[in-house]
Amino acid sequence: MINKNKRYVIANWKMKLGHQQSIDLAKELKKKYKGDEEVELVVCPSASALSAVGEIFKSSPIKLGAQDIFYHDFGAYTGQISPAVAREVGCEYVIVGHSEARKLGETDEDVNRKIVTALKNNLTPIVCVGETFREYEEKKTELVIVAQVTKALEDIKLNDGQKIIIAYEPVWVIGSGQAVDHNIFQHIVQIIAHTAVEIGAALANKFEVIYGGSVDEENVSEFIMGNISTGVIVGNNSLEADKLIKILNNIR
Ligand code: PEP
């Protein structure tokens, strides 16, 4: 795993804001967030707001990310999001394999193809993995994580300077207000790191692991402490500029 001082805060706005609300929040963030050399703030608005929010962030330290892409650049794919267009409007990152997308039918194979296409378009993939509550109760967490990471990263090749961010997001914790214990997360980080290295030496030192699921200003430091990970993905608490900025301040 890359062991750098850089911290990632990925703000996943999901489909929770209207178009004007996205613009207003982007402008407020741009005004209030002064940037930090050691923290990368990546905001992922809904697809319809990418272009407008991208314009706002152009002269700011805030990076743009898409919440999803398709695995072809162009073609007869009604309703899909072109990775090439995501890049064109300013995206540098893309979330793939989010549990909410998997629930709607995204498969491990789709996730793998999306990673390939993201990298081809110079988008850094943020690959979400995580077990459901049932799988957690049945003590299948490790099996699920190993399988998801293995399938996602199959045959993935990275060019110099490229990397993959793997976000461990226990499905049952997302939006619950109760994050997972950081000791459990630390164990999962080791499993993910081991799995990624097993897949191929080509990936060693080219991936990072972050945590997602009910992160707030109080608990954020637990997931970074002792360098156990390099960042967090934040849903609900990224929808207000002041809350997000407190998280950004507390991640250092
Ligand atoms: C997410 O869905 O990616 C997420 C982290 O959500 P929340 O912070 O609301 O749990």
Mean pLDDT for 8-23 is: 98
Does the beta carbon of 99 sit less than 6 angstroms from any atom of ligand 1? no
- Lowest-pLDDT range, 109-123, 154-168, 197-211, 224-238? 197-211
pLDDT at 201 > cutoff 90: no
Structure tokens at 101: 């997308």
Structure tokens at 233: 């993905």
pLDDT at 120 > cutoff 50: yes
Contact yes or no for 25/237 (Cβ under 8 A): no
As annotated, the active-site residues are 98, 169
pLDDT at 155 > cutoff 80: yes
pLDDT in tens, 96-114: 999 999 999 999 999 999 9
Does the beta carbon of 238 sit less than 6 angstroms from any atom of ligand 1? no
The minimum-distance atom of ligand 1 relative to the CA of 179 is 10
Q: Which pLDDT does position 4 carry in this prediction?
A: 59
**Residue 214 banded pLDDT, cuts 50, 70, 90:** very high
The amino acid sitting at 80 is Q
**Residue 5 banded pLDDT, cuts 50, 70, 90:** confident
Distance from C-alpha of 95 to C-alpha of 86, rounded to nearest angstrom: 12
Contacts of 34 (CB under 8 A, 6+ apart): 61
Domain 7-249 classified CATH 3.20.20.70? yes
pLDDT at 3 > cutoff 50: no
Residue 147 CA, ligand 1 centroid: distance in Å: 22
pLDDT at 35 > cutoff 50: yes
Mean pLDDT for 146-156 is: 95
Mean pLDDT for 73-83 is: 98
pLDDT at 1 > cutoff 70: no
Distance from C-alpha of 250 to C-alpha of 133, rounded to nearest angstrom: 29
Q: What percent of the chain has pLDDT above 70?
A: 98
Q: Give the 3-state secondary structure percentages of the chain, helix then strand then coil, rounded to 5.
A: 45, 15, 40
C-alpha distances in Å from residue 138, one per residue of 47, 116, 158, 185 = 36, 32, 35, 18
Q: 3-state DSSP call for residue 10?
A: strand
Q: Which pLDDT does position 238 carry in this prediction?
A: 98
Q: Which pLDDT does position 199 carry in this prediction?
A: 83
C-alpha distances in Å from residue 164, one per residue of 116, 158, 224 = 11, 9, 18
Does the beta carbon of 233 sit less than 6 angstroms from any atom of ligand 1? yes
**Residue 240 banded pLDDT, cuts 50, 70, 90:** very high
Domain boundaries, the chain: 7-249
Q: What percent of the chain has pLDDT above 90?
A: 91
pLDDT at 244 > cutoff 60: yes
The minimum-distance atom of ligand 1 relative to the CA of 174 is 10
Please give the mean pLDDT across all residues of the chain: 95
Residue with CA closest to ligand 1 atom 8: 235
